[in-house]
A and B are shown apart, each in its own frame.
Chain A
């Protein structure tokens, strides 16, 4: 499918388990982002990546790990899930060529529940 996709769309896990959320984009965009969406907080940036093998922390990185071995994929791993990580997670991408204020394109989101 063209565009940006996330999997799974819904996930229920238990405290302490490792969980990986997948993000895939077909546009060859340089920049990719992970956000979490919580009521009252809007979206908060977890990690971002400017290119393959280049990642950097956002506002709320604790408890998360990212990697980017290929331009099109940007997985987010919760190494030991906690209840406070229950949230909706959005992946986004944007093009370097479109300029520094290029539009970010968002995936459909993954709703994660940690019991």
Chain B
């Protein structure tokens, strides 16, 4: 079945460091890909998305490129801030029944130290 594999955390970085969180997927057909972020005590929020191969999603300094050849959607940010501390989830969207469903990775906890 469809699945998402994320690099395991937790990840701890100093402020202004470069961030990469790896995400690879297995899916039938051509899924859409997403990164969601969960701040402490809150629900998930969409961070960025890409709907077809070679698309780049970007938001708040974060970027991810849909790589069909490597089935990957790695999240990157050039200079992290303390406020980026959160759990990041990679997800894919597939058609199933009457709705497209999200399949999530296990999440990566990021802590940014001042």
Contacts and interface: CB of A to CB of B under 8 A. Distances in A.
**Which of A40, A42, A56, A109 has the most chain B CB atoms inside 10 A of its CB?**
A42
Given A42-B4, A50-B98, A108-B42, 20 more contacts: A33-B101, A33-B102, A40-B106, A44-B104, A45-B102, A48-B99, A54-B98, A56-B99, A90-B43, A92-B43, A100-B93, A100-B95, A100-B100, A101-B100, A103-B46, A104-B46, A104-B102, A107-B43, A108-B41, A109-B43
Chain A: interface secondary structure? Answer: strand
Interface in A21-68: 31, 33, 40-45, 48, 50, 54, 56, 58
B105 A106 contact: no
Given A50-B99, A100-B95, A106 B45 contact: yes
A101 B51 contact: yes
A77 B95 CA distance: 26
A45 B101 contact: yes
Interface residues of A, number: 24
A43 B46 contact: no
B89 interface: yes
Contacts of B98: 50, 54, 56
A51 B89 CA distance: 27
A31 B42 CA distance: 21
B89 A43 contact: yes
B77 to A, nearest CB: 20
